[in-house]
Amino acid sequence: MTHTHSNKVIVGMSGGVDSSVAALLLKKQGYAVSGLFMQNWRDDDPEYPCTAKEDAMDAYRVCEQLDIPMDAITFIDEYRERVFQHFLDTYKRGWTPNPDILCNKEIKFRAFLDYALQQGADFIATGHYARLRRDAEGIRLLKGVDPNKDQSYFLCALSTEQLSRALFPVGDLEKPEVRRLAAQAEFANAQKKDSTGICFIGERDFKRFLTRYLPAQPGEIRSDKGDLIGRHDGLMYYTLGQRHGLGIGGRKDAGDEPWFVAEKHLDSNTLIVVQGTDHPLLYSRGLLAEQCNWIGVDPPAEPLHLSAKTRYRQSDQICRVEPESGGRVRVIFDQPQRAVTPGQAVVFYRGEICLGGATIVGTWR
């Protein structure tokens, strides 16, 4: 038997299985639930039709089955201004951005949250694999129970105010259980595959997409010894640690080991590559990060021993976090880290608690 409470919650419905099950669980828990489909991108590329129409239909079907109201809204202008522009600016600097983190901060938990509160909602909910703990000390962001799906990394830029209005109903479940609940509820999207990659690029060729917005500046590819090895199409197309798509191939004067991107020199527009998975130039002892966001804790006044991830799905790495001027932090790892990439996020953990994150702006060996 479901108990009812007066709490009104609007679920961000993506058309996927996670948000569908989030809505199902909240309804079972007695919340007054409605759904909202957000369209954040408009694209008229005939070759790569945006899946927004099918996704919206999937979301509508689920809401119909759950007998809950659903609306749709576009945040296209907000997205372009607050997320996409930053994405392009980061590439211009020769860095590699993480638009998902910014999208959560600026769109899902700001534009959507503002809209929901105007509609009289008490909470918004999403299908993120993360958990919240509310206690006397305030609110804590925790990893999702499923270690393969934990998405706390992407929520590291949220404030405690934003989190205090959020619900993450699937955070306590593992993915197979979420699919099982969706199948049991006879949702048509129970086996729909997870979306991957950057939402607004979808399945299309990343290089071609970027070329539409940023002029490419071809330049030299050189080895760590300074030898000219080839030409690159533009530094923005390459990321540190990248192996494929370098167009170097077998060279008579080099062994059989694969080549990897080790450095990007913006001033000379040169891509530096090295041979071998474990080449020392691919590893960093530490990093410098700025735009720190701390969740439920004060910014460190003295060095802290924590663990951190420099990319999603990485296992937690033990590190020492030292405060620097201007709210920045220096992070020194116990073990050297491979392909730490400026523009990406470093996210801090103490056990299962996510303490926030920051943008990587530099590394050292």
101-146 per-position pLDDT tens digit: 999 999 999 999 999 999 999 999 999 999 999 988 899 999 999 9
Q: Please give the average per-residue pLDDT across 175-195, as a whole number.
A: 93
Model confidence at 1, in pLDDT bands (50, 70, 90)? very low
Model confidence at 202, in pLDDT bands (50, 70, 90)? confident
- pLDDT in the model for residue 255: 76
Q: What pTM was computed for the model?
A: 0.94
Model confidence at 5, in pLDDT bands (50, 70, 90)? low
Least confident of 33-42, 186-195, 327-336: 186-195
Q: Is 103 an annotated catalytic residue?
A: yes
Model confidence at 17, in pLDDT bands (50, 70, 90)? very high
Residue 4 reports pLDDT greater than 80? no
Q: Go through the domains of the chain in sequence order and give each one's CATH number.
A: 8-184 (3.40.50.620), 215-277 (2.30.30.280), 283-364 (2.40.30.10)
User: Residue 5: which of 166, 147, 123 has the closest Cα?
Assistant: 123
- pLDDT in the model for residue 49: 63
Q: Please, are residues 309 and 316 in contact by the beta-carbon 8 Å criterion?
A: yes
Compute the mean pLDDT over every residue in the chain, rounded to the nearest whole number: 93
Q: Is 354 an annotated catalytic residue?
A: no
Which of 50, 63, 156, 199 is flagged as catalytic? 199
